[in-house]
Structure 1
Amino acid sequence: MWKSVASNALTLFIVLLAAAAGLVAWGRSEFNGPGPLTEAVCIQVERGASVASVSRNLEARGAVSDARIFRIGADYAGKARDLKFGSYMIPAGASMDEVLTALTQGGASTCGQEIQLLIGVAAAQAIVREMDPASNRFIEVAKFAPGEAAPAEYTEAMANPDMRYRVTLVEGATSWAVADALRKADFLSGELREVAPEGSLAPQSYDVEKGSDRAALIGRMASVQEQIMAELWPGRAADLPYDTPEQAMIMASIIEKETSVPEERGLVASVFVNRLRQGMRLQTDPTVIYGITKGEGVLGRGLRASELRRSTPYNTYVIDGLPPGPIANPGRASIAAALNPDTADYVFFVADGTGGHAFARTLAEHNENVARWRAIEKEQGASGSTGTQTGQ
């Protein structure tokens, strides 16, 4: 009798074990297999949301087939507490594992609305934008200059407690422009008493929360810029005509202001390095302009001949070597170009009418390039400065 009971119990145990193994296998298949979505959806993770509430929302939106399996999978993967606030685009057919990764890996939100403060070279803009699921790109909903009357769309977006905020600093913007824009941004708080040293702020996008402290944000920007220079400085080329990271930052800022064409940065850097090595003056218009404006706004006109002759610390047509400080906040690519210029023997360049520049090795070649640019200017009815002449 006892043998029969034991045998039946063992049989039941084996059956239950097999059933459990089958259940685990099914759950793993459900978690890793293609999901039920037939088209992409935008899933929002609220601040402090639990995996339980998020899993129920995912099931209700049809992003996962079973909320319980999603929760168990999140626990098993050790990611149940790693949910990141934001809005995320979940593509059609995404598995539970892929959904979990999207909601826990962090980074910029990939759908929904956000308010962006865009700090550009010439002006700043406050922008309400929304991710378009069809194109997977942000579209502008409203835009205005900070400090001016805000449109209704902005006011409505500000009232949303789950709205995301982003501050984007464009390469080549000055520290004064950053301070001016941050002071006018009404979703930030705290006093900003001083303008950060020129060149000390890293151009990139920064996710912030409503009410974030302005000075703390400046500190973040400065910390990133320090990290970039610290990372790139040890790998600099040998025999550069500048000896310190501070001098390299000055050169990087000049490169940043001289060209907006990424593939030209190394060549522009080589021109200035060659000129410094040969004892030639840099003769670059952006430094002269900075000496006039001090970085506070744009000049808005061409340089006058008298301004090119005037002796100021930033007039590189008059002074030897580098100016006393950076003239803008350069991005990583310009810093890299300053530390590792292209190997070329150019010592002149001028605008070529395409947005780029024509480079030359001799003054005769350069004068021909300048003549072509003058003809283009005349044809286009342009007026004002011709850009860097380096040798005129």
Structure 2
Amino acid sequence: MNPVQVPSTESTQHIQESDQTKPTIETPPDLGKKPKRTYKAIHFIIGCLILITLISIGATVLWFSMGLVAVRPDVPVNGEVVEVKESSSLEDIASQLAAKDLISDKTVFILYAKFGPAHGKLQPGPYLIKPTSNIKQIVSNMAAGKIAISKITFPEGITINEMAKRFAAAGYGTKDEYLSAVKKLAPEFGFVPTFAQDNPEGYLFPATYSFTINSPADVLVRQQYEAFATNISPLIKANRPANLIEHEVLTLASVVEKEALTTKDRKLTAGVFLNRLALGMKLESDVTVNYTTGKTQTTPGDIAIASAYNTYKIRGLPPTPIDNPGTESVEAVMNPTKSDYIFFLAGKDGVVYYAKTLPEHDQNIKNHL
């Protein structure tokens, strides 16, 4: 049995001394960790930056959205014409719109026109912009080239002077501008006789016309002459009665236009006038006198006036048409209803009464006027 060896006191002491002489490193509890206050500060700064960014984005979006809104969306007004030229920049267009109070922010217009669907490509031309239009609508119309179109209607039987008044009343120009264009352009069209060029009544076709807004009167008047060349001139050439020249057909048609309202009465009335001309009788038409006086009713004093348009005084037709007739009245003269009637009158009831003799006509006057 081996004896147990007990360490000597010297060895034990050496070990204890070695333990005691080993250096001890104390680590501070927070070393290597960021203080909580630093984290909070960073989070606060980041949060503020995000908030500021969001507010800025929101403000920009709101500013841009408000800029797109119509200036006065609830006020229906006629609007203003804005002219986009080939050389116009987005800045030029925006300045025009802002000057006329049609947009609230030029920058918004420029940005939307440049970076929106139009990609900065706006078509030249005149545009009618209303305060009820927003920037999106304005840019869309300009990108699509939806230029402002004017329309005017001239009914059958209207005179040149009345056309000029309508033109001026619609705001397309002055009465004198229209009348000047009528006379200036007349010689360009061969169907207008030389003697009628100073007063080309009858040669401006009555219809509805469209033209670019702000166009000079020449544009409209040229359309009217061209429409006559298309609708009336070939019609007369193809069916003109042998005893009337083209100008006379048009002149008689203008009288029929004023005297009769229906197709039936136009054809009968044309027949009456042709019968009277064939018999060498005066037309004795009130409407030719009214062309001179400017009235709608004829008085005994009017019938007595000396005028080339007073068919109570002259034989045959007036020197020019007394209005601008439609195709129906022209056709009525070339294809009248044949009869023995040489008188007619429009009764108080709106019915037209015809007579073959003066006594019959006098009776119609007694019964229906």
Q: Which category of TM-score, normalised to the shorter sequence, fits these structures?
A: 0.5 to 0.7
**TM-score with structure 2 setting the length:** 0.53
Distance verdict in 2 for CA 1:182–1:238, change over 3 Å: closer
Distance verdict in 2 for CA 1:221–1:155, change over 3 Å: farther
Q: Does residue 178 of structure 2 align to residue 192 of structure 1?
A: yes
For residue 323 of structure 2, what is the aligned residue in structure 1? 328
C-alpha separation in 1, matches of 2:334 and 2:357 = 25
Higher helix share: 2
For residue 201 of structure 1, what is the aligned residue in structure 2? 204
For residue 164 of structure 2, what is the aligned residue in structure 1? 179
C-alpha separation in 2, matches of 1:332 and 1:350 = 23
Deviation at 1:249, TM superposition (A): 0.8
- Percent identical across equivalent pairs? 31
Does the 8 Å contact 2:164/2:178 carry over to 1?
Answer: yes
Q: Does residue 327 of structure 2 align to residue 341 of structure 1?
A: no
Deviation digits for residues 355-380 of structure 1 (CA, Å, limit 9, x no counterpart): 23111111121111111122xxxxxx
Q: Which secondary structure does the structure 2 equivalent of 1:212 belong to?
A: coil
The answer for unaligned runs of 5 or more in structure 2 is 1-127, 184-199
For residue 247 of structure 2, what is the aligned residue in structure 1? 246
Deviation at 1:212, TM superposition (A): 2.6
**Larger Rg: 1 or 2?**
2
Q: Which amino acid aligns with 1:168?
A: T
Distance verdict in 2 for CA 1:341–1:237, change over 3 Å: farther
Q: Which secondary structure does the structure 2 equivalent of 1:192 belong to?
A: helix
**TM-score with structure 1 setting the length:** 0.50
C-alpha separation in 2, matches of 1:155 and 1:354 = 50
Deviation at 1:343, TM superposition (A): 1.4
C-alpha separation in 1, matches of 2:355 and 2:276 = 12
Deviation at 1:204, TM superposition (A): 1.2
Following superposition of structure 1 onto structure 2, how do residues 74-85 of structure 1 map, counting pairs within 5 Å? none
Deviation digits for residues 259-288 of structure 1 (CA, Å, limit 9, x no counterpart): 122221111100000000000000000001
C-alpha separation in 1, matches of 2:353 and 2:292 = 26
Could you say what the CA RMSD is over the residues aligned between the two structures, in angstroms? 2.8
C-alpha separation in 1, matches of 2:219 and 2:337 = 37
C-alpha separation in 2, matches of 1:341 and 1:167 = 31
Following superposition of structure 1 onto structure 2, how do residues 31-50 of structure 1 map, counting pairs within 5 Å? none
Distance verdict in 2 for CA 1:191–1:352, change over 3 Å: closer
C-alpha separation in 2, matches of 1:155 and 1:171 = 36
Distance verdict in 2 for CA 1:304–1:188, change over 3 Å: closer
Deviation at 1:183, TM superposition (A): 2.9
C-alpha separation in 1, matches of 2:178 and 2:259 = 30
Does the 8 Å contact 1:183/1:214 carry over to 2?
Answer: no
The answer for unaligned runs of 5 or more in structure 1 is 1-114, 116-153, 294-298, 375-392
List 4+ stretches of structure 1 deviating above 4 A.
154-157, 159-164, 187-190
Does the 8 Å contact 1:359/1:366 carry over to 2?
Answer: yes
Does the 8 Å contact 2:161/2:179 carry over to 1?
Answer: no
Deviation at 1:201, TM superposition (A): 0.9
For residue 278 of structure 2, what is the aligned residue in structure 1? 277
Higher strand share: 1
Distance verdict in 2 for CA 1:187–1:314, change over 3 Å: closer
Distance verdict in 2 for CA 1:327–1:155, change over 3 Å: farther
2:224 aligned to 218, 221, 224, which one?
221
Q: Which secondary structure does the structure 1 equivalent of 2:354 belong to?
A: strand
Distance verdict in 2 for CA 1:182–1:237, change over 3 Å: closer
Deviation digits for residues 43-68 of structure 1 (CA, Å, limit 9, x no counterpart): xxxxxxxxxxxxxxxxxxxxxxxxxx
